A = this chain, B = another copy of it.
């Protein structure tokens, strides 16, 4: 399984689909989801992306997309964002399973990270960061959980939390990519190592 945890400032209320940047960079979030889940003509198998929404009014909420169950999602920002909007609406009605393969919960960044460390061991959880160990010298297993921040990165508190859990920082080289590009590159590196599922 490959999983991604995105720390975002996405809003925790319904938002205007015609103004994604002002909904806590919901455009960035949508691009991250697209690159986590899509290939040409198909969804990847065995991929989850957990987006922690830390924006107003009632953070945190965590929205999860799980490719093995997803239906009717298209790669454009507007479509992906519309599914997040539906999830938020459903959460407000008390529904946690929003649509097939799309789940939403009142869950913090720390909580989801702890769950994944528990599930896979902290050696399989990485934090994508420019100052980390170069990915070329990192050994991966078939299970990888990658943590990343949005355009503003992780707050100090959350970085310290990852340090305490001894989560390894991994770098994609000297260049700082968009979060959505970093997801594509990590997938590519794992694809190249033939680490599927």
Give Cα distance in the complex from A75 to B35, angstroms. Answer: 15
A77 and B75 form a contact (CB under 8 A) = no
Decide yes or no whether A132 CB sits under 8 A from chain B.
no
Give Cα distance in the complex from A172 to B192, angstroms. Answer: 9
CB distance from A137 to the nearest CB of B (A): 13
Which of B27, B39, B74, B181 has a CB less than 8 Å from the CB of A177?
A: B39
A74 and B185 form a contact (CB under 8 A) = no
Give Cα distance in the complex from A77 to B151, angstroms. Answer: 16
Could you say which residues of chain B place their CB within 8 Å of the CB of A79?
21
Interface residues on A, range: 20 to 34
Which of B39, B75, B178 has a CB less than 8 Å from the CB of A38?
A: B178
Could you say which residues of chain B place their CB within 8 Å of the CB of A173?
188, 191-192
Which of B20, B38, B41 has a CB less than 8 Å from the CB of A76?
A: B20
Could you say which residues of chain B place their CB within 8 Å of the CB of A184?
177, 181, 184-185
User: Ordered nearest first, which 4 A-B pairs have the shortest CB separation?
Assistant: A27-B76, A40-B176, A184-B184, A181-B184
Given contacts A18-B18, A27-B76, A185-B188, 5 further A-B contacts (CB under 8 A): A34-B178, A39-B176, A75-B178, A173-B192, A181-B188
16 A-B pairs with CB atoms under 8 Å apart are A18-B18, A21-B79, A27-B76, A27-B77, A28-B75, A35-B178, A39-B181, A40-B151, A40-B176, A40-B177, A40-B178, A40-B179, A78-B78, A174-B191, A181-B184, A184-B184
